[in-house]
Amino acid sequence: MFFFLDFQSPSTWHWAFSFVAPVGIALHGLRKKKLDQSGATMGLFVGFILTVSCVRFFASLLAFFLAASKATVYRSEAKKKVEADFKEGGQRNWVQVVSNGGPACVFAILYMWEVGSLDVPVNFNSRLYSASWYAVATMACLASASGDTFASSIGVVAGNSDPFHVLKLSRVPRGTNGGVSFYGTLSSIIGGFIVGFAFYVCELLLLYSEDLLEAPPQWPVILYGGLAGFLGSMIDSVLGASLQFSGDNLN
């Protein structure tokens, strides 16, 4: 293991954990039908990148995967009636895995370029400025994906009223692309909070107390997660309203 100043290569246990942990998640996803075979295979790559770069990223990924999996199966019977592409358990494929984890991997690699696998506190007023931004960006990407998943999985079946079209601001049937609702929006924030909270707790467990005392308070990362979850669902709604078809007849 190499260590100097603010850079550290992964230790032996970190390398081992980075290989074993993604395998466990992928096997669990296959067994519970959260992932199909292509999704599980791509998940191994995404999981390895996020885990080897920083344990906090793995904690964020694990929180997203477990929480989103629960949200996906929430009131499944009701979803079958409003979702044309409904799949039992979710069964995400490789495209969905890349969409959810790809951006986070990019920032995780940039983080490794700065400090290796060293866990450093978020501090925008220090020499770790770039690493702090990359760390928050990685977490925010996963929180955004979590928020979008929560909004689409819970918002479509929660409450008694139809959602509003995000651009036209008129009522639309449940399951319509671009539809937003109070419960869906609230769920997106909660989904982001969960990822941010996992990142924060992992920081408290891994970082030395001296590092935390010298750095600014770390709890705002939870709020960053909630904000990212909200923005993720809103951006997805705007894209869905603008680019995706909703209707009974493609003609």
pLDDT tens, residue by residue, 141-152: 999 999 999 988
Is 177's pLDDT higher than 50? Answer: yes
**pLDDT per position as a tens digit, 202-225:** 999 988 777 788 889 999 999 999
pTM as predicted: 0.86
Give the lowest-confidence range in 43-47, 196-200, 236-240. 236-240
Question: In which domain, by residue range, is 138 found?
Answer: 3-243
Identify the pLDDT of residue 82. Answer: 56
Query: Could you tell me if residue 251 is inside a domain?
Result: no
Q: What mean pLDDT do residues 29-50 have? A: 92
Name which residue leads in pLDDT, 55 or 126. Answer: 55
Residue 181 lies in a domain: yes
pLDDT for res 2: 37
Domain count, the chain: 1
What is the model's pLDDT at position 3? 38
Q: What is the rounded CA–CA span in Å between residue 4 and residue 57?
A: 22
Residue 26 has pLDDT above 90, yes or no: yes
Percent of the chain whose pLDDT exceeds 70: 86
Q: Is residue 24 part of a domain?
A: yes
Q: Which 3-state string (H, E, C) describes the chain?
A: CCEECCEECCCHHHHHHHHHHHHHHHHHHHHCCCECHHHHHHHHHHHHHHHHHCHHHHHHHHHHHHHHHHHHCCCHHHHHHHCCCCCCCCCECHHHHHHHHHHHHHHHHHHHHHHECCCCCCCCCCCCHHHHHHHHHHHHHHHHHHHHHHHHHHCCCCCCCCCEECCCCCECCCCCCCEECHHHHHHHHHHHHHHHHHHHHHHHHHCCHHHHHHCCCCCHHHHHHHHHHHHHHHHHHHHHHHHCCCCCCCC
Triad 164, 168, 170: Cα angle to 5°: 40
For 22-26, 67-71, 216-220, which range has the lowest pLDDT when averaged over its residues? Answer: 67-71
Q: In the predicted model, what is the mean pLDDT of residues 244-251?
A: 53
Q: How many CB atoms lie within 10 A of CB 124?
A: 12
Instruction: Label residue 32 by pLDDT band (50, 70, 90).
Output: confident
The answer to whether position 248 is within a domain reads no
pLDDT at 34: 87
Q: Would 198 be classed as within a structural domain?
A: yes
Q: What is the model's pLDDT at position 4? A: 36
For residues 70-78, give the mean pLDDT.
Answer: 72
| Residue that wins the pLDDT comparison between 196 and 2 | 196
Residue 67 lies in a domain: yes
pLDDT at 19: 95
Residue 153 pLDDT greater than 50, yes or no: yes
Average pLDDT in the chain: 85
pLDDT reading at 68 higher than 60: yes
Phi/psi for 171 (5° steps) reads -65, 140
In which band, very low, low, confident or very high, does the pLDDT at 87 lie, cut at 50, 70 and 90?
low
Q: Is residue 46 part of a domain?
A: yes
Q: Is residue 117 one of the residues assigned to a domain?
A: yes
